[in-house]
Amino acid sequence: MGDQIPVKVMGVYVVESKEGFAAPVVLLEDESSRIVPIFVGLSEAISINQALSGNISPRPTTHDLFISTLESFNANITHILIDDLDEGIYYARLTVTLDSVKKEIDARPSDCLALALRSGATIQIYENVISVSCVDKSTLEDLKEISQYI
């Protein structure tokens, strides 16, 4: 599959179309400044943005609940891996460790990102996925931060 490249979440933004539609997108960046856009649902975008900004909901969100449940069993998320891109759809795996046992769990990249940010887990993408999905920074000029919408 290739090398696993660490990335950081740059932020959560909104892409507006000429038809008036708005779509949330999370931007990931590697050490070489390559940017990978991952379109996500609105609720996941809000959750990822909350984790980035440190805003805590008065009641636990689903992602908060998942982290609390793992912690109650002394398990943790070691890392997430975005491992495939097929027909515009990204695929990811969440690695959870309990004692010395590691389990990989198939999950949506948006959920993986929300959980990784809450747990401090590393975020990685296969090199071949980055190479086919990265975009030029000039294509991102019209993006607006999601905080303008929520």
Q: What is the spatial distance between Cα 146 and Cα 9, in angstroms, rounded to a whole number?
A: 14
The pLDDT assigned to 19 comes to 76
72-90: pLDDT as tens digits = 999 999 999 999 999 999 9
- 40-69: b or e for each residue (b if 16 or more CB lie within 10 Å)? beeebbbbbbbbbeeeeeeeebebbebbee
131/149: higher pLDDT: 131
The pLDDT assigned to 10 comes to 95
Q: Structure tokens of 136?
A: 């030029």
Using only the alpha carbons of the chain, give its radius of gyration: 15
The pLDDT assigned to 1 comes to 67
CB 24 within 8 A of CB 14: yes
The pLDDT assigned to 148 comes to 74
Domains defined for the chain, CATH in brackets: 4-148 (3.10.690.10)
Identity (one letter) of the amino acid at 23?
Answer: A
Q: What is the spatial distance between Cα 39 and Cα 24, in angstroms, rounded to a whole number?
A: 6
CB 107 within 8 A of CB 121: no
Looking at the DSSP bridge assignments, the partners of residue 104 are: 95
pLDDT of 3 over the 90 cut: yes
Tokens 């980035």 belong to: 52
Q: What is the spatial distance between Cα 29 and Cα 26, in angstroms, rounded to a whole number?
A: 10
The pLDDT assigned to 147 comes to 80
15-64: pLDDT as tens digits = 887 777 789 999 999 999 999 999 999 999 999 999 999 887 889 999 99
pTM (two decimals): 0.93
